[in-house]
């Protein structure tokens, strides 16, 4: 295993940009796109300087889209990303009608697939469901743009069902909660249907639906270089089918470095409430944030979650937009004190990070800083945070998949330079195992023995009680 370790200086020696980003966080240019644009810096006097972040979808600034759309915002912006232009009333009506007609699962699919072997990881459940849906498509391998658009719209339509039903199955079979499956209502928007299917009483306020709709729009697309969208393009370039491509994108998004950041924010804020006596006292808040940065508190990673972004420096436009809606929802829910705490952390964290860390660009709150707070106010369980992200981002994935199919005829195949050693072959009987390998093998044997003991009933402790405990701790 020690042979897999590569010294950091070798990356610099050979000009390798780790993470496909340079020292300043700028991504390596790997393609061209008409879908979205991100701006985080401007060239002044021949030098690149940070600026307030901006985001465009198909040439339209995100602020204008959020402020100008109607009550079917998700659908309107999805049409824009997929078709390349904003719809008129007739086109939007036809698009929504088509999405509603596609928002149905094959007969017994919920029972036979979603409810079978449920688990806490809803992203895995969704991936399983997506791959299973491929077997119901007679044109699964047809990669014509027309067919891929059909497949994409179908998956966009059913993603809310895959997510919500996957959670209900887990909540019932693993946590002992009540089971209820509400069919989506064709007269409701995507955001409304998520709340309608998730809640036992199927009720929600107009503001709740509006805030969730905005959250979906802000998470819908973010350039071709983010990990899951780049995964979409890579797998598309191999000639694979839509279901496999989206399953790969889901597998990328579920990673905690990509789609799970808002969960970390929620847990960190819970920890702050627990250890700060007066959450209205900025001095106490600052003192505890300093401990977090110094790796003396919370998870001892030294990170204030929700702060900073791989692209943005001075500000994340999505966070700026979201904050206005968060304040309104916090007022409706009677959570003004929590909102003030979030605002204080947002204000203090960049100062503390700047004082204690050597940073090469500005630090500001990103969209994940507030999204977890919003989902909690909406009553969305922690297990659905990343799946809700996927419900939104599949639109962007679909747009990039089609653009890749239209414009590129080569498989994406970057290079890796070999920096290992060369050795002569040694016959089996003359080899001696390395100490590290022996230790790994012993650990594997120990793990296998423990698993076997569990199968024979010697250790039958289940994880569900821990999950229940964690969920109870998350509640306020």
Residues acting as catalytic residues = 258, 309, 368
* DSSP bridge pairs for 38: 55
Burial code (b: 16+ CB inside 10 Å, e: under 16) for 118-141 equals bbbebbbbbbbbbebbbeebeebe
222 and 38 Cβ atoms separated by less than 8 Å: yes
DSSP of 412-431:
--------S-------GGG-
d(CA 167, CA 118): 8
Diameter of the chain by CA atoms?
77
* Integer Cα distance of 295 and 233 in angstroms: 37
Q: Of 408, 303, 281, which is closest to residue 353 (Cα–Cα)? A: 303
Q: What is the DSSP letter of 411?
A: -
Of residues 167, 168, 174, 215, the one with CA closest to residue 191: 215
Q: What is the DSSP string of 206-230?
A: HHHHHHHHHHHHHTS---TTSHHHH
HSE value, Cβ hemisphere, 13 Å, CA-based, for 112: 7
Evaluate whether 193 touches 160 at the Cβ level (below 8 Å): yes
Which helix or strand (DSSP H or E) is residue 372 part of?
helix 367-377
DSSP SS3 for 189:
coil
Q: Which uninterrupted H or E stretch holds 160?
A: helix 145-173
Compute the distance between CA of residue 340 and CA of residue 351 in angstroms, rounded to an integer. 17
What is the spatial distance between Cα 360 and Cα 22, in angstroms, rounded to a whole number?
Answer: 11
């Amino acid at each position: 295993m020690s042979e897999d370790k590569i010294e950091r200086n070798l990356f610099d020696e050979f000009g390798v940009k780790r993470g496909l980003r340079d020292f300043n966080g700028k991504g390596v240019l790997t393609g061209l796109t008409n879908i979205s644009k991100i701006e985080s810096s401007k060239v002044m006097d021949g030098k690149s300087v940070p600026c307030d972040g901006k985001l465009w979808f198909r040439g339209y600034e995100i602020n204008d889209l959020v402020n100008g759309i109607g009550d079917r915002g998700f659908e309107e912006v999805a049409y824009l990303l997929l078709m390349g232009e904003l719809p008129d009333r007739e086109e939007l009506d036809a698009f929504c009608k088509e999405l509603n007609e596609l928002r149905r699962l094959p007969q017994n699919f919920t029972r036979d697939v979603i409810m079978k072997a449920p688990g806490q990881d809803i992203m895995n459940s969704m991936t399983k469901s997506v791959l299973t849906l491929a077997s119901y498509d007679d044109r699964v391998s047809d990669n014509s743009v027309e067919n891929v658009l059909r497949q994409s719209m179908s998956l966009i339509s059913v993603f809310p069902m895959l997510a919500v039903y996957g959670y209900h199955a887990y909540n019932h079979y693993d946590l002992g909660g009540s089971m209820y499956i509400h069919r989506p209502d064709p007269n409701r928007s995507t955001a409304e249907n998520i709340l309608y299917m998730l809640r036992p009483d199927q009720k929600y306020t107009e503001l709740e639906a509006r805030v969730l709709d905005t959250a979906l729009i802000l998470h819908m697309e973010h350039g071709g270089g983010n990990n899951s969208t780049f995964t979409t393009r890579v797998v598309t370039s191999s000639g694979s089918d839509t279901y496999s491509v989206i399953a790969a994108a889901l597998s990328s998004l579920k990673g905690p470095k990509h789609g799970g950041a808002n969960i970390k924010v929620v847990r960190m804020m819970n920890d702050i409430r627990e250890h700060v006596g007066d959450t209205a006292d900025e001095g106490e808040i600052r003192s505890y944030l300093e401990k977090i940065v110094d790796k003396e508190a919370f998870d001892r990673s030294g990170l204030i979650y929700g702060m900073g972004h791989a692209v943005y420096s001075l500000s994340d436009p999505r966070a700026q937009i979201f904050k206005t809606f968060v304040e309104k929802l916090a007022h409706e829910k009677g959570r003004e004190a929590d909102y003030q705490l979030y605002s204080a952390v947002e204000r203090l964290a960049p100062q503390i990070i700047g004082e204690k860390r050597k940073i090469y660009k500005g630090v500001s709150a990103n969209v994940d800083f507030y999204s977890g707070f919003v989902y909690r106010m909406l009553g969305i369980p922690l297990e659905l945070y990343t799946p809700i992200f996927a419900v939104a981002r599949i639109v962007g994935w679909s747009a990039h998949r089609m653009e890749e199919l239209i414009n590129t005829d080569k498989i994406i195949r970057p290079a890796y330079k070999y920096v290992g050693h060369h050795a002569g072959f040694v016959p089996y009987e003359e080899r001696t195992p390395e100490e590290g390998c022996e230790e790994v093998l012993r650990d594997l044997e120990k793990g296998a023995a423990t698993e076997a003991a569990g199968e024979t009933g010697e250790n039958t402790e289940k994880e569900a009680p821990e999950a229940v405990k964690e969920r109870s701790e998350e509640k306020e």
